[in-house]
A and B are shown apart, each in its own frame.
Chain A
Amino acid sequence: MSAPVVIVDYGMGNIASVRNALAALGVPASLSSDRMDLAAAEAIVLPGVGAFGEAMANLHSLDLVGPLTEQVVGNAKPFLGICLGMQLIAERSEEQGDHEGLGWIPGAVVPIPPRDGFAVPHVGWSELAFGPDDPAFARLDRESCFYFDHSFTLRTESGLVRATADYGVPLTAVVGRANIIATQFHPEKSQRSGLKFLRNFTNRFAARQAA
């Protein structure tokens, strides 16, 4: 029997929703902050709502930074970061001071640049621009909408950006490299489009299991 998906439980945000959404897909997931569970997991999801500084402090105080990095960067486990969970994998953030992130991908988290007519935070449903044949967007199209709710945005190397949302300026919506994929939007709150996105993620390791 394979280990389930582990959703990292580090006191930040609405993690039950991620488990509910995965359950709707028939994918069992457990909430955990235990390094042994991370080691046994088939895939790791790092959700998160809240402030960057507190999130990193929680990861440090639960002694999760090392184990997470070992599993995701060292062992190349399939990883999905959601919202704050995407921002945390960057090198640093300017939210309420200057904070160091997990540093798995280059770049920094900065305030959404203010534009006339574009309220901040960026709250609501946006369409995405993504490349053709990206397996992360299988069965999704340019009219599929995803739910965003954020005041800060990730700036990273363009080669790592898999999708953007147009909000006066292009905002990083999905970053990815090898086993890592992370979304600024909330797939667990993006209704049917979000479930399809999550299915595309779980298919990566479900396919590997089947093979």
Chain B
Amino acid sequence: MSTKRRIIASLVLRDGIVVQSIGFERFLPVGRADIAARFLDDWGVDEIVLLDIRASAEARRIDLATVEAVAASCRVPLTVGGGIRSVEDVRDLIRAGADKVSLNRAALETPELIGAAAEQFGVQCIVASIDVRRLANGKAHVFADGARRDTGLDAADFARSCATAGAGEILLNAADRDGLRNGYDLDLVEAVANAVNIPVIALGGAGQPSHFVDLLSSTGASAAAAANMLHYSEHSVAAIKSVLRNAGLDIRLDSRSDYRHVPFLADGRLDRRPEAELADEIFEYIPKEII
């Protein structure tokens, strides 16, 4: 049996706070990263990715105090990215509480850092983050500089070279779907998942729970990541997991509510239960479990 398919929350940092990103161009404020992490952890998310999207461009590294605060607020694995340029940066981030690091610009500009970091910290610790846009002819190219500049590299080829260099996972970001809520780029994910034998995390385009079902039932992605929809939908993680479970997908259910009897609207949001049903509800006191 393989591992459970993972639901990963991506926290995008800009100017020190979590933001909602739309097309890598417009940004709406969400709030403090450690508070977002605490909520997501409570809701049963399987992993958290914390990315400072301006760090590389501003020639600095993601703020260590923020990493420490986020790490202290969650009991799930934490991947951190933003301005990592050396093995020392990787070491500092791990000491601050990161379980894995995500290399985006470094994977393109200094691919030898992937191997050097993997040698020190193990391949399981290194995530290659790839921003991809489709060209007018449908080809999927790797983009650099905040998904603005076409590198001319094919997405699947580049993913393969990252895996060969020593990456343990691929974080595949369909940049042209960022914030659009129109579903994952399934063909892109499948092409990359077929090209490598390391886990692929798909990001970009999730807007409702059925998108997760589409992704995990039709591609080889190990994990589905989302950013915006997890912040702006009520009970998002539990709702997604409930829909995935009902679709027969093997996921981890560890939150206190499994939403088994809760109806959903077509867009995956919680529906109001009928008055008569609520009146018949038997209230049961469930004490908080003491670990």
Contact = CB atoms under 8 A, between A and B. Distances in A.
A21 B46 CA distance: 16
A50 B122 contact: yes
B254 interface: yes
Given A124-B6, A191-B76, A193-B254, A167 B124 contact: no
Listed residue (B46, B96, B252) with the most chain A CB atoms within 10 angstroms of its CB: B252
Nearest to A20: B72
- Where chain B touches its partner, the secondary structure class is loop
B199 A119 contact: yes
Interface residues of B, number: 42
Listed residue (A21, A122, A147) with the most chain B CB atoms within 10 angstroms of its CB: A147
A211 B27 CA distance: 58
A63 to B, nearest CB: 21
Nearest to B41: A191
B32 interface: no
A86 interface: no
Given A14-B99, A16-B96, A145-B254, A125 B46 contact: yes
A126 B5 CA distance: 10
A186 interface: yes
B34 interface: no
Interface of B: 1-6, 41, 44, 46, 68, 71-72, 75-77, 94-100, 119-125, 168-169, 196-199, 222-223, 252-254, 289, 291
B3 A167 contact: yes
Contact of A125 (B6, B68, B98, B121): B6
Contacts of B75: 20-21, 24, 188-192, 194-195
A51 B119 contact: yes
B4 A120 contact: no
A32 interface: no
A148 B199 CA distance: 13
Closest 9 CB pairs of A and B: A124-B3, A121-B124, A125-B4, A145-B252, A149-B124, A125-B252, A166-B1, A195-B291, A50-B121
Given A51-B122, A189-B76, 17 more contacts: A14-B95, A15-B95, A16-B71, A16-B72, A20-B75, A120-B198, A143-B253, A145-B4, A145-B254, A149-B100, A167-B1, A167-B2, A168-B2, A189-B99, A191-B76, A192-B291, A199-B291
A25 interface: yes
Contact of A50 (B71, B120, B169): B120
Nearest to B200: A119
Contact of B125 (A49, A191, A195, A196): A49
Contacts of B168: 121, 123, 149, 151
Nearest to A52: B122
Listed residue (B6, B72, B99, B222) with the most chain A CB atoms within 10 angstroms of its CB: B99
Contacts of A143: 253
- Number of contact residues on A: which range applies? 35 or more
A54 B87 CA distance: 14
Nearest to A15: B95
A51 B99 contact: no
A16 B197 CA distance: 31
B124 A192 contact: no
A201 to B, nearest CB: 12
A17 B71 contact: yes
Contacts of A20: 71-72, 75, 97
Contact of A149 (B68, B99, B120): B99
B4 A124 contact: yes
Contacts of B120: 50-51, 54
Contacts of A195: 75, 291
16 contacts: A13-B94, A13-B121, A16-B97, A17-B99, A49-B124, A51-B122, A84-B122, A118-B2, A119-B196, A121-B168, A121-B198, A123-B168, A123-B222, A125-B3, A150-B122, A195-B291
Interface string A114-140: 100111111111110000000000000
A67 B255 CA distance: 41
A96 interface: yes
Nearest to A114: B197
